[in-house]
Amino acid sequence: MKNILIRRICIAATCAIALVLTFYAAVYFVMFRPNFTRRTGDYTQKQNQRHWGNDDFQARNAADTAWWENSERIRMEITSYDGLSLVAYYLPHEEAKGIVLMMHGFQSTPTRDFASIARWYYEAGYTICLPFQRNHGESEGTYITFGVKERYDVRDWVQELNDRFGMENDLWIHGISMGCATVLMASGFSLPFNVRGIIADCGFTSPKAILLTELRTRKLPLAHAFLHAGNFFARHLADFTFTEYDTFQALRTNETPVLFIHGTKDDFVPPAMTIANYEFCHAPKELLLVEDAIHAISFYQDEALYTKTLTRFLTTYALPR
């Protein structure tokens, strides 16, 4: 009888261990690996249709991407605080009003997120700089950390641009989606005085918040358990945690003016996250909600309103000349 009981306990324990290992394997392959590693291959037609939501917007981006690729842009490279080679391209303006550093979003590219906005900045008289975020494009890296480590890269790009162009130039930091969260997190550093403002377009508040939102959107059961297991992989493989840092911690000490932007029909990053960031920000701030804009498309949805608001922000906080 005792042997039978021991056998049953062993079988139950083995089954429990197998279930736990199966669950963690599922989390790794369903959540962690697709979301934290480098994207490979081109976007499918279906993915592009969902992203742009409008053929005209996509065609506009393609034309402006061609403009960027045919420009006399200059490659530059820095080494991150943790030893990665990070790459950016910049296009100097002969009579620059300032410099705009533009940080793209999750598993995206500088031109996919910024080609048209970058062209607008350049034609408005600004030198533009478009880095590849770590673990994207030409930049090195193994894992995406949703702004936690990327914020240090923003700090270092700011230093590099000031070393090259001098601190007498206005410097603006524009981020979109994960790039927005990244630049907001970077606002927690003591940024140089010539960083005149941050343009924060459709960013989230924390890795935990956006991942939990995505898990719930997919209607996956045990969302919190998935998040906990995913955090295990983040800690042990990517050397960060989902709660290590967030935009609120940065905005608590930030003194740089911020223009917050979000589309009202964004179903990827909820507009409520930008509103929460706006409400938490104690620095000079402005909020622009673009009606009917989906994720990261506000510029295309209402270019006149977007650029009017942006021009006013740039004019208001530029260094006196």
Determine which of 45-54, 86-95, 154-163 has the lowest per-residue pLDDT on average.
45-54
Amino acid code (one letter) for 204: F
Q: What pLDDT is attached to residue 8?
A: 67
Q: Nearest 5°: CA angle at 283, between 281 and 286?
A: 75
Tell me the pLDDT band of 30, cut-offs 50, 70 and 90.
confident
Kindly tell me the burial class for residue 236, based on how many C-beta atoms sit within 10 Å of its own C-beta (0-12, 13-18, 19 or more): exposed
Tell me the pLDDT band of 313, cut-offs 50, 70 and 90.
very high
Q: Is the pLDDT of residue 217 over 90?
A: no
Q: In the structure encoding, which two tokens stand for residue 295, read together?
A: 């994720």
Q: What pLDDT is attached to residue 42?
A: 86
pLDDT mean across residues, the chain: 94
* 253-263 mean pLDDT: 97
Q: What are phi and psi of 226, to 5 degrees?
A: -60, -45
* 264-278 mean pLDDT: 97
Q: What pLDDT is attached to residue 13?
A: 62
Tell me the pLDDT band of 2, cut-offs 50, 70 and 90.
low
Q: What pLDDT is attached to residue 321?
A: 76
Strand order in 195-201's β-sheet? 74-79, 85-91, 127-131, 98-103, 170-176, 195-201, 258-263, 285-290
* 94-101 mean pLDDT: 94
Q: Is the pLDDT of residue 70 over 90?
A: yes
Q: What residues pair up with 198 in beta bridges, in sequence order?
A: 173, 258
Helix ranges restricted to H, the chain: 2-27, 33-36, 45-52, 55-69, 110-123, 150-165, 178-186, 207-217, 223-233, 247-251, 271-280, 298-301, 303-317
Half-sphere exposure of 67 (CA within 13 A, CB side): 17
Q: Is the pLDDT of residue 18 over 80?
A: no
Kindly tell me the burial class for residue 197, based on how many C-beta atoms sit within 10 Å of its own C-beta (0-12, 13-18, 19 or more): buried
